[in-house]
Structure 1
């Protein structure tokens, strides 16, 4: 694993720990959420960094990872895309469940570094890609997205991508803890989990979180 400036930042601000709902997976997670948020706002070299979404095991990702680990037939032998992958939790779970290949996409270079670090820690191969793919078509048999419906703009773009993937024949699953912009009218309920989450980030220590199938 190459140690870049981004990798050093990830390692310096996190600690390797088991994911509460999916302890089979270990991630480099922030111990002090507020402090890390402040560091990214302060930035590096005077440049502000994106929020450190990559440093936390968000409820939607935990539920989706648990579901994939418990139902490996969803991904076994298939090409998988983890969209807005954050820490890479869902991508790693998919590889552990037997996926043939997993690509994890992020727009934040620090998230890409975190995905690579976390994949290495779990001894799996995940292709981490930096870029915005939402205006393209998904080149995958399974598309997974955890906690992506957190703003109106994001929901509009992500939903279009996910529905196109579903229309193209992909299995498309999203994990969500009841965010404000969840587009329920385009989703079918698959499973529900009670997910432990950091109270510094959420309004309750346990979030009731649903895995949804995205309809074409």
Structure 2
């Protein structure tokens, strides 16, 4: 599905009347209340309804929940605004756009939110609008490219081994090229031993689907 179509669909969903588990609602982020996001009351129920309406499979709506890794990185940026202020920032696998929005609120010169899911790109657009910040969007797969930015942030991108194998070299190349890199990881189990430095550790409220604890410990790390 193309980006403008996904954006129009989300705008219709946001404007629709009614309540229930299959609706989107603008709400404060639990660990980053400075930012409000359009999130699903229940992302799985929302996904099922949208697939039934479309008559085909749709990408999992990762953007419709706020993930612990992203909350931690966003919190760290807002608590340390000098990291983003006046800088060019890329939010990799941005999902809802939480970290990108936090970077913009911290005073970044330019923020680009990247995600290959057109619904995520649409979500970033409506969420940036709700928070009155400017965030550019990119729907390309950037992991095999070289990206010139000052700060690269990745809220929760190491959630399976195959993705980690692609993401970690990209993060290392960015760091070697002079970018500061920050990664949020709620103990997904795919961190390379001895290659990342811990800069913060938070107990973060969980809202994502299929999590059996109300709080997760999340590390914010940067490559050596």
Matches of 1:183 and 1:203, distance apart in 2 = 25
Structure 2: gaps of 5 or more residues: 17-22
Structure 1: gaps of 5 or more residues: none
* Residue 55 of structure 1: how far off its partner (Å): 0.7
* Residue 65 of structure 1: how far off its partner (Å): 0.2
Q: 1:199 to 1:123 in 2, by over 3 A?
A: closer
Q: 1:142 to 1:199 in 2, by over 3 A?
A: closer
Which range moves more in the overlay, 47-56 or 162-171?
Answer: 47-56
Matches of 1:49 and 1:104, distance apart in 2 = 21
Equivalent position SS for 1:28: strand
Matches of 1:172 and 1:30, distance apart in 2 = 29
Please name the residue that 2:112 is paired with: 103
Matches of 2:54 and 2:216, distance apart in 1 = 37
> Given that residues 33 and 201 in structure 1 are in contact (C-alpha distance below 8 angstroms), is that contact kept between their aligned partners in structure 2?
no
Among 7, 15, 19, which residue is 2:25 paired with? Answer: 15
Q: What is the RMSD computed on CA atoms of the aligned residues? A: 1.7
Aligned length: 213
Is 1:125 the counterpart of 2:134? The answer is yes
> Given that residues 10 and 110 in structure 1 are in contact (C-alpha distance below 8 angstroms), is that contact kept between their aligned partners in structure 2?
no
Spell out, residue by residue over 1:133-152, the C-alpha distance to the aligned partner (whole angstroms, 9 max, x if none). Answer: 10001221100001100111
TM-score normalised to structure 2 length: 0.89
Among 131, 153, 171, which residue is 1:162 paired with? Answer: 171
* Residue 43 of structure 1: how far off its partner (Å): 5.8
* Residue 109 of structure 1: how far off its partner (Å): 0.5
